[in-house]
C-alpha cells in the first residue's frame, strides 16, 4: 500500500524564509532602537540616583553646597590666567568632595587632563565648548564632566525660572567617548542647586526648557534639556516626533 505524506516543497520553504527575512529586516532595527533607548533611560535614572545620593551625603558632611568654598568657573575662551586658576580650583574642589561618595575608576583634573572628544547637538552640529578634560569616570564607565560653577553661593537663577538657588551644572556622558556623543542621546545635563541635583529641562525655565533646548533641534544646544523628559516620561520619543510638549503629549503614537 502506498502512503502519501504531505510536505513543503523546496520552493515553498525558500519563499517562506525570504518573507521571514524581509519582515525581520524591517522590524529588527526598530526593536534594537527601542531596546537601546530603554537602556538609556535605565542608565540615566541610575546616574541621577547615584549623584543625588552623593550630593546628600556631601551636604551631610560638609554642610550646604553654598558653604563648600567653590569658586566661579571662568567663561569658555577666557584668557585671564587668574580666572582660569580660580575656575580650576572650584571645579577641582567639587570633584574632590563628590568623588568621596562615588565609585570612580578615574579622575581627570586640569593639571592632569585626559583625552577629549567632540559633542554634538540633536541637529548633528558640533558643540565645541564641551571637552570633558576635567571629569570623573564612574565604575560603569559613565563620565561626569563639563562641570561648571556659575554661582558658588547658589544665588543665581541663570534663566531657571523659579529655581533661584542655582549653583552650577554638570553633564553626563553615559558611554564615555563612544558615539553618538550627542545631547539627548547619550549626553545629558544636570543642574546643581541648594536643594540638590536637578535634571535639566524639567521646570518653568527661560534657558533650559524642554521646548527650547530639547525638541527644538535648531538650537545650538538642542538636546541639553532632554534630561528631565527621559527621567519623568521614560522615553526618548522626542527623537521620533516633533509634537511633544512638557505639559501636553508625552509619547509618539
Instruction: Give the pLDDT of residue 11.
Output: 72
What is the Cβ-side half-sphere exposure of residue 48, based on CA atoms within 13 angstroms? 20
Contact between 158 and 151 under an 8 Å Cβ cutoff? The reply is yes
Instruction: Give the pLDDT of residue 2.
Output: 58
Which residue in the block uniquely carries the three cell numbers 501636553? 248
Instruction: Give the pLDDT of residue 235.
Output: 96
The Cα–Cα gap between 90 and 69 comes to: 8
Instruction: Give the pLDDT of residue 34.
Output: 82
87 beta partners: none
DSSP secondary structure letters along 181-239: -BBTTTEEEEEEETTEEEETTSSS-SSS-HHHHTS-TTSTTTTTT-HHHHHHH---GGG
Instruction: Give the pLDDT of residue 166.
Output: 85
- 3-class DSSP assignment, residue 161: coil
- DSSP code at position 7: -
The Cα–Cα gap between 222 and 125 comes to: 9
Cα distances from 23 to residues 16, 63, 97, 252, in angstroms, run 11, 59, 53, 23
Instruction: Give the pLDDT of residue 91.
Output: 87
The Cα–Cα gap between 228 and 160 comes to: 13
Q: How many CB atoms lie within 10 A of CB 180?
A: 14
pLDDT in tens, the chain (253 residues): 555 566 667 776 677 777 776 666 666 566 667 888 999 999 999 999 999 999 999 999 999 999 999 988 765 444 444 444 555 778 889 999 999 999 999 998 866 667 778 889 999 988 755 555 688 999 999 999 888 888 899 887 655 555 568 898 999 999 988 899 999 999 999 999 888 999 998 755 555 788 888 988 877 778 989 999 999 999 999 999 989 998 889 999 8
Instruction: Give the pLDDT of residue 81.
Output: 43
What is the Cβ-side half-sphere exposure of residue 153, based on CA atoms within 13 angstroms? 2
Amino acid at each position: 500500500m502506498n502512503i502519501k505524506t504531505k510536505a513543503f516543497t523546496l520552493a515553498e520553504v525558500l519563499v517562506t524564509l525570504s518573507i521571514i527575512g524581509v519582515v525581520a529586516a524591517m522590524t529588527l532595527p526598530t526593536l534594537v532602537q527601542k531596546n537601546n533607548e530603554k537602556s538609556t533611560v535605565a542608565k540615566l535614572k541610575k546616574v541621577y540616583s547615584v549623584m543625588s545620593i552623593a550630593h546628600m551625603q556631601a551636604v551631610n558632611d560638609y554642610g550646604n553646597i553654598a558653604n563648600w568654598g567653590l569658586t566661579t568657573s571662568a567663561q569658555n575662551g577666557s584668557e585671564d590666567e587668574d580666572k582660569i586658576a580660580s575656575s580650576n580650583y572650584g571645579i577641582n574642589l567639587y570633584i574632590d568632595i563628590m568623588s568621596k561618595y562615588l565609585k570612580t575608576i578615574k579622575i581627570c583634573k586640569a593639571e592632569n587632563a585626559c583625552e577629549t572628544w567632540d559633542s554634538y547637538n540633536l541637529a548633528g552640529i558640533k558643540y565645541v565648548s564641551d571637552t570633558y578634560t576635567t571629569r570623573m569616570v564612574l565604575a560603569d564607565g559613565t563620565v561626569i564632566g563639563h562641570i561648571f560653577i556659575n554661582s558658588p553661593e547658589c544665588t543665581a537663577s541663570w534663566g531657571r525660572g523659579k529655581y533661584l538657588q542655582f549653583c552650577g551644572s554638570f553633564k553626563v556622558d553615559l558611554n564615555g567617548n563612544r558615539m553618538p556623543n550627542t545631547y539627548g542621546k547619550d549626553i545629558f545635563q544636570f543642574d546643581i542647586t541648594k536643594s540638590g541635583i536637578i535634571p535639566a529641562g524639567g521646570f518653568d525655565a527661560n534657558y533650559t526648557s524642554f521646548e527650547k533646548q530639547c525638541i527644538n533641534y535648531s538650537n545650538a544646544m538642542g538636546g541639553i534639556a532632554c534630561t528631565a523628559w527621559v527621567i519623568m516620561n521614560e522615553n526618548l520619543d522626542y527623537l521620533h516626533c516633533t509634537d511633544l510638549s512638557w505639559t501636553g503629549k508625552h509619547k509618539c503614537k
